[in-house]
Amino acid sequence: MAKLSDLLATREVTAYQENLPKGKVFSVTGQSGMYACIRTESQWCWNSPGCGVAVIEMWGAGGTAACQCCCSVGMPGNTGGYTKKTIAVWPCSVIFGRPGVACNGPGPAFSNPCLSEGSCLIWERGRDLCGNTSGCMCADGGLGGRTCCWGSSWNSPFCCFASLGYCFTLICNGCGIICNVRSGDWWACGWGGDVNRCGTYGKVEYRGCQPMCTCNFIQFVPHPPGQFSEDGGWVVFPTENDHSANQWAGAGMGSVGYAINAHSRTPTGGYPWYTCWNSGRFCTCYEMHSCMNYMPYGWGATMATPCPDVRDSGRRGGAGAIRVTYRGTNVNEEMCIRYGE
């Protein structure tokens, strides 16, 4: 009988990873400390390591959920815009710019959404598909998600948002879908690339009239173009209602992490580790949580979920990002430089 060791010795074991991009990838986000604190137009710089092609991708920062106190509800923020460009590069080629930073959760005022920063860059000493040797690109920052006070004027969160002019789809009396879109509001887009995409909007399906029953609210948290799909999309989940992972003010953060992993081809652990017995549950009742970066780059934040007598300080959107994929060639460097000039 043949031994397993003999069978393995006669076989060549080869593993191929087919879903990885070719070349070298360089990236930066607005979450990095120095990029969030030191704001200049050229705070990040990339120099080409040789002759080849560089694919530049850029996302604006995602919208942040607004701050609000008790007896109100919110909606997710919108994503940043997206732009992509391919240029020929040589050793003198340079890219410098700035990745956008998302608004802090408390925002400029209660209820009102703030606008996150866009990401911008300038490329020089390269050549694009139109023959240009320099240019600029920008991906706008996303609009935040508003909150709406529920009270005697309106008998449901759905009616409150609809009265403010937000796009809606009525399902039944007092219930329906509200989108973070209305006439005159900001819409994040991409500029200066071969491919330019506008961002994705957040939305909520309100299946109940009571703001305290957050489990009746289905969140559609948007992800930007250029990540999971060309045009962006949503991760969808029901909001927790004061359970072991999240407190009432902060509900949804555990679920969105799990949904993001389910959306990915390379998921990680899903839910982070929580402990209800030592107050380890996520809670945006503390303003520090609204300043932390939890969402992936370019994503809109989850909706605010205030509870009676407790403030929700808002959730921060994903920071902006710049990514350069460099693919070198075997072209003689001197010829490459002459061609560029």
| Segments making up each domain of the chain, as ranges | 22-340
The overall pTM is greater than 0.85: yes
Report CA 329 to chain centroid distance, whole Å: 33
The four Cα atoms 238, 241, 247, 253 give a dihedral, to 10 degrees, of: 0
pLDDT tens across 207-221, in order? 877 766 777 889 999
Distance (Å, whole) CA 335 – CA 341: 10
Residue 191 has a pLDDT of: 96
Distance (Å, whole) CA 131 – CA 320: 28
Burial label for 34, CB within 10 Å (0-12, 13-18, 19+), is exposed
Mean pLDDT of the chain: 82
E strand or H helix at 281, and its extent?
none
Cβ pair 225, 80 in contact under 8 A: no
Which residue in this structure is represented by tokens 């009676």?
A: 308
Distance (Å, whole) CA 293 – CA 98: 17
Residue 332 has a pLDDT of: 59
Residue 309 has a pLDDT of: 72
Amino acid at 290: S
- Token pair belonging to 277: 């017995």
Report CA 190 to chain centroid distance, whole Å: 14
Cβ pair 215, 241 in contact under 8 A: yes
Name the phi and psi angles at 108, rounded to 5. Answer: -75, -25
Cβ pair 181, 198 in contact under 8 A: no
Q: How many alpha carbons lie under 13 Å from residue 15 in its C-beta half-sphere? A: 1
Q: Which segments in the chain show pLDDT lower than 70? A: 1-2, 4, 7-19, 32-42, 70-71, 105-112, 150-154, 211-212, 242-246, 269-282, 331-341
Tally of CB atoms within 10 A around 242: 16
* DSSP structure string for 98-123: E---PPPTT-SSSSPPPBPPPEEEEE
Cβ pair 100, 319 in contact under 8 A: yes
